[in-house]
């Protein structure tokens, strides 16, 4: 079998795309303005290439099972759960391109689960098929011990185009877009949400909670709009409180995950709530307290924390989903705890240290179960959480935010830093797309660099870019790793490129849409608010440097 010897994959794919000077020049100009020289990027690209050779939490180490059973693409050299066969002296690994008949890469190893490190830097991005063959003592291939198809994805290869406007301007435009929508301004006069115009309000705790936070940002950053923004925020907050469970109920003060609409009508969601959704809305009440000084909203947030305190199980866990009235769990699955832990951490800023034991118990459960198994599953209100196998719906939306949480601790341990790095690598390996191939028509259907949301919704989402960029920025701030910063920057910069400069909206899905697609259905407010916060963070970080 012929082995193809080529230049490194990072160099190959750039030339394969035949980038013209017009496409490369903006990135080079930005690099100069940023103080990064060509040699700097070459060094970072070499660092990235070297790191991609390191397998990510491979099952053969014994720390966790093989987590990549359902994975369809890889950036880091993968290893698969292939078993030894009797009589085999060696194992032949054959990786063939599904797109180019002549492209083939091979190596031999003592174990069938060996990572693809020996050939990984030579493999051209694209769809490939791996076959692992047992080899007898005389060198003859015999049985096939494993096969796997996947996409060998495009690596990080800077520089990328920089922001088209400043981060602050981009953030303010996006925040003002949300603020100016008629169905948002309605909350200043009428607290009942306009579901007919904007059906995403049916995800009440998440979307309306984010709306409150956005209006608090507008009030803070745009003083001339403060009064109208706070009027909207107060109306939206009063709506959430009006729909929350009453004092004395099992889920007292929890706002609803589902409010009317199509999602609530589905049997799986009817009269149910996602346990962590209240922890996403509670920080909005803290934002409102910060903006107004009205302790009503601080008390509302604390009341939610008190309910969580009663709900926590002895092992530190919480159910993933419950009956909204009775508080009974819908299944045996447990919630990923980063929304709650971030909320409890923030409460300490207001002098509420009483929840530290709950926070520590939650951290211990996270370390002992999902982090130990490396099973960072998706827990979305609009995607099923029933009857899923381990690793069936991995997502950056759990892995990256928890990495960020660990990195923001006052004194993270060496073990926590290692864990955070692995969670960031998982998020990049499975969900970050640094590039896409051209269609037959000569364009790319998706706007890279970007981040896919989850296995069960393989779409690049702006909020996912914020999740991964946020964790990478925290890693940079904690360790000084410039590559982490440049990766984060590329993801955030692309949000300014995807942003509609005439309206300020940043679309939720970073894909090309039909021209007649209603812009209101292209965004979910909580995702756009995540963009606003991330852009402001980049503004603050880069203004210091």
Q: Is the whole model's pTM more than 0.75, yes or no?
A: yes
CB 395 within 8 A of CB 451: no
The per-residue pLDDT for 8 is: 38
CB 202 within 8 A of CB 262: yes
Angle between helical axes of 226-243 and 209-221 (0-180°, round to 10): 160
Residue at token pair 């607290």 = 191
CB 509 within 8 A of CB 451: no
Q: What is the DSSP string of 183-229?
A: HHHGGGT--S--TTT-GGGGSIIIIIHHHHHHHHHHHHH-GGGHHHH
CA pair distance 543, 545, nearest whole angstrom: 6
CB 87 within 8 A of CB 134: yes
Distances (CA, A) of 34 to 27, 29, 37, 44, 138: 10, 9, 8, 15, 58
The per-residue pLDDT for 38 is: 74
Report the relative pairing of strands 141-152 and 73-74 from DSSP bridges.
parallel
The verdict on whether omega for the bond into residue 159 sits within 30 degrees of 0, i.e. cis, is yes
What b-and-e string marks burial along 520-541, b requiring 16 or more CB atoms within 10 Å of the CB? Answer: eebbbbbbbbbbbbbbbbbbeb
CA pair distance 70, 333, nearest whole angstrom: 19
Q: Which of 314, 249, 313, 241 is nearest to 278 (CA)?
A: 241
The per-residue pLDDT for 385 is: 87
- Cβ count within 10 A of residue 63: 12
The per-residue pLDDT for 18 is: 30
The per-residue pLDDT for 267 is: 80
CA pair distance 368, 361, nearest whole angstrom: 11
The fold for domain 9-152 equals Immunoglobulin-like (2.60.40)
Residues 6+ apart with CB under 8 A from 156: 45, 48, 434, 449, 483, 486, 487, 490
The residues of the chain scoring below 70 in pLDDT are: 1-35, 514-521, 545
- Evaluate whether 9-152 and 196-335+337-365 have a shared fold: no
Report the relative pairing of strands 90-97 and 104-109 from DSSP bridges.
antiparallel
CB 384 within 8 A of CB 331: no
The per-residue pLDDT for 545 is: 60
CATH class, domain 196-335+337-365, is mainly alpha
CB 447 within 8 A of CB 497: yes
pLDDT tens digits, residue range 212-232?
A: 999 999 999 999 999 999 999
The per-residue pLDDT for 3 is: 39
CB-facing half-sphere around the CA of 416: CA atoms within 13 A? 17
Q: Which of 58, 128, 126, 131 is nearest to 91 (CA)?
A: 131
Distances (CA, A) of 527 to 32, 129, 210, 212, 277: 32, 36, 8, 13, 15
In 3-state terms the chain splits into helix, strand, coil percentages (rounded to 5) of: 50, 10, 40
Domain ranges of the chain: 9-152, 160-190+376-545, 196-335+337-365
**Cα 316 versus chain centre, distance:** 24
């Amino acid at each position: 079998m012929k082995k193809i010897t080529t230049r490194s994959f990072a160099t190959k794919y750039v030339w394969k795309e035949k980038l013209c000077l017009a496409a490369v020049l903006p990135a080079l100009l930005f690099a100069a303005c940023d103080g990064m020289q060509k040699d700097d990027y070459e060094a970072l690209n070499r660092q990235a290439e070297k790191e991609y050779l390191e397998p990510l939490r491979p099952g053969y180490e014994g720390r966790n099972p093989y987590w990549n059973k359902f994975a369809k693409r890889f950036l880091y050299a993968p290893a698969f759960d292939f078993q030894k066969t009797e009589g085999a002296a060696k194992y032949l690994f054959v990786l063939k391109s599904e797109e180019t008949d002549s492209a083939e890469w091979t190596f031999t190893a003592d174990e069938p689960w060996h990572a693809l490190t020996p050939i990984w830097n030579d493999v051209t991005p694209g769809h490939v098929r791996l076959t692992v063959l047992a080899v007898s003592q005389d060198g003859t291939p015999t049985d096939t011990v494993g096969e796997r198809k996947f996409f060998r994805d495009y690596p990080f290869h800077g520089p990328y185009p920089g922001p088209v406007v400043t981060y602050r301007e981009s953030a303010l435009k996006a925040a003002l877009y949300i603020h100016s929508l008629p169905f948002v301004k309605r909350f200043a006069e009428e607290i009942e949400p306009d579901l007919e115009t904007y059906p995403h309000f049916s995800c009440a705790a998440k979307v309306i909670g984010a709306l409150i936070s956005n209006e608090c940002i507008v009030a803070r950053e745009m003083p001339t709009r403060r009064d109208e923004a706070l009027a909207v925020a107060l109306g939206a907050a009063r709506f959430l409180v009006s729909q929350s469970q009453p004092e004395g109920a099992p889920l007292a003060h929890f706002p609803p995950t589902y409010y009317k609409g199509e999602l609530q009508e589905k049997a799986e969601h009817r009269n149910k709530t996602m346990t962590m959704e209240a922890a996403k809305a509670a920080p909005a009440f803290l934002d409102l307290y910060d903006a107004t000084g009205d302790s009503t909203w601080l008390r509302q947030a604390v009341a939610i924390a008190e309910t969580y305190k009663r709900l926590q199980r002895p092992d530190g866990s919480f159910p993933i989903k419950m009956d909204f009235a009775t508080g009974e769990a819908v299944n045996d699955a447990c919630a990923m705890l980063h929304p709650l832990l971030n909320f409890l951490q923030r409460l300490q800023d207001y002098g509420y240290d009483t929840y530290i034991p709950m926070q520590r118990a939650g951290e211990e459960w996270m370390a002992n179960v999902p982090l130990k198994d490396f099973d960072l599953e998706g827990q979305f209100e609009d995607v099923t959480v029933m009857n899923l196998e381990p690793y069936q719906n991995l997502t950056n939306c759990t892995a990256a935010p928890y990495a960020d949480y660990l990195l923001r601790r006052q004194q993270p341990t060496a073990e926590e830093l290692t864990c955070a790095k692995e969670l960031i690598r998982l998020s990049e390996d499975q969900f970050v797309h640094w590039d896409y191939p051209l269609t037959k028509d000569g364009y790319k259907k998706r706007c890279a660099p970007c981040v896919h949301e989850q296995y069960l919704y393989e779409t690049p989402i702006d909020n996912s870019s914020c999740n991964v960029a946020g964790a990478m920025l925290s890693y940079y701030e904690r360790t000084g790793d410039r590559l982490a910063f440049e990766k984060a920057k590329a993801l955030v910069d692309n949000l300014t490129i995807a942003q509609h400069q005439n309206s300020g909206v940043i679309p939720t899905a970073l894909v090309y849409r039909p021209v007649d697609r209603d812009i209101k259905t292209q965004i979910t407010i909580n995702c756009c608010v995540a963009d606003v916060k991330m852009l402001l963070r980049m503004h603050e970080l880069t203004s210091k440097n």
